[in-house]
Chain A
């Protein structure tokens, strides 16, 4: 008896096979004539005089950290959402729980915005 996960694995396998087939066919059909100039970096044509990977704005890192916080908190409400209707019958307790979660998230967001975390100029 298939319980659903086997078919997902089949689907993932299908994707993997297809991706490797595409890359493999491309490698077979495409020419291979390496030249030094072909392998240069696509920028402005003159030789590079500094590394491409440099220090970048810390804002990107900040966004990633904020994302982690917010996404994790969202995921924590998912299990409550599943049984919300059944629990709501017993009174306002579960609503209060969701409300506290949302309020904490909103408070964090306001704090982050006040600290100008998401401002790009």
Chain B
């Protein structure tokens, strides 16, 4: 009974926390844009405009839900569901801290430490494509279809280098469990560097990062929503909370991708050179590992914003060329080198 209660608390807590991060992220994005472009940004709702996401939410909730007459009704309603469901659910296997020890019982800070965490992430990551292509198709609008097609082609193209980067990580750590990967990153590497994935997989990190930006439809890969060409792409016809699910799903995706980058390449909850568990009590250690993990995630979230307001958008043919001509051969090369190094050091 106690076990189920703990599991339930973890599920609810981390689900709400991830969504809260996504909500705050919408605010950070707009304030960050304002800061970079030297203008005030949203500053009316609450101190520093902090209540702006709340106001946006209320607005989305109270809008009329319009289904266009020409749309294919059932698919149109299914689209946002299929997009947001995997986006909201991917975090289930990501460790968000080490563990608490209460009365000799270990409570892992992870919803589920299954040994197929990798496959779960890859599977759910692929599912988002259905929401996009169905939403675009069912809207029966030229902009939507163009946006949906572009987005689908882009997402599937960048999923290959993404998968290749993950494969190299699996080669290095020999496990599909995200917690085991995180645990393997304590201590130092080659005597001086922190034992983080980024130092073992520098090329893999770059590939993963680029592919993550493309998977999240973020600048410089935000072609599915290039406003000047196709209005807002696959969600042109959506309004009210259905649009909200699309937009929100994207931000949740960004939070999840940042967490994955932290887990695979930046040592999850480990601080460089310092072993926190040595001098912190069992409970304060749990809290500290949670805080360290989310500080790292916050940095990558900020990087998403920073890149968005710094880099211009690619042309579509450039996106496809980059994906197939550069990233995939580099990904294959990375696997070859990784396998060779492991073979030589075995």
Q: Give the interface of A toward B (CB within 8 A).
A: 1-2, 4-8, 10-12, 14-16, 18-19, 22-23, 25-27, 29-33, 36, 38-43, 48, 52-53, 56, 59-60, 63-64, 66-67, 70-71, 74-75, 77-78, 81-86, 88-89, 92, 94-95, 98-99, 102, 105-106, 109, 112-113, 118-121
**In the assembled complex, how far is the CB of residue B237 from the closest CB belonging to chain A, in whole angstroms?**
6
Contact between B88 and A15, CB atoms less than 8 A apart: yes
| Chain A interface, DSSP helix/strand/loop, else mixed | helix
Given the complex, which residues of B lie within 8 Å of A8, measured CB to CB? 92-93, 111-112, 114, 120
> Across the interface, do A63 and B241 meet the contact criterion of CB distance under 8 Å?
no
Interface set, chain B 1-24, CB cutoff 8 A to A? 3-4, 7-8, 10-12, 15, 19
Between-chain CB contacts (< 8 Å), 7 pairs: A26-B244, A38-B64, A70-B328, A71-B163, A78-B119, A78-B176, A95-B343
Q: Which residues on A sit within 8 Å (CB–CB) of B343?
A: 88, 92, 94-95
- B145 adjacent to A23 (CB under 8 Å): no
What residues on B are CB-neighbors of A95 within 8 Å?
339-340, 343
Q: B321 contacts which chain A residues (CB < 8 A)?
A: 118
Whether the Cβ atoms of A30 and B240 lie closer than 8 Å is yes
A-binding residues in B (CB < 8 A): 3-4, 7-8, 10-12, 15, 19, 60-70, 81, 84-85, 88-89, 91-93, 111-114, 118-120, 122, 137, 140-145, 149, 152-153, 156-157, 159-160, 163-164, 167, 170-171, 174-176, 231, 236-237, 240-242, 244-245, 316-317, 320-321, 323-325, 328-329, 332, 335-336, 339-340, 342-343, 346
Task: Give the contacting residue for B69; candidates A30, A33, A40; CB below 8 A.
Answer: A40
Min CB distance A72 to B, Å, is: 10
Given contacts A11-B92, A30-B64, A82-B175, contact A120 B11 (CB under 8 A): no
Which single member of A15, A26, A106 contacts B61 (CB below 8 Å)? A26
The reply to whether B137 and A106 form a contact with Cβ atoms under 8 Å apart is no
Q: Which 6 A-B pairs have the closest CB atoms?
A: A26-B241, A88-B346, A120-B317, A15-B88, A67-B156, A81-B170
Q: Could you tell me if B346 and A89 are in contact, using CB atoms closer than 8 angstroms?
A: yes
Cross-chain contact A33 with B64 (CB below 8 angstroms):
yes
Known: A11-B89, A15-B85, A113-B325. A70 touches B153 (CB 8 A): no
Alpha-carbon gap, A60 to B224, bound state (A): 14
- For B153, list chain A residues within 8 Å (CB): 59-60, 63-64
Q: How far apart sit A36 and B316, CA to CA, in the bound complex (Å)?
A: 36
Q: Report whether A77 and B69 are in contact in the complex, using a CB–CB cutoff of 8 Å.
A: no
Residue among B142, B143, B175, B316 facing the most chain A CB atoms (10 A cut-off): B142
B336 touching A102, Cβ below 8 Å? yes
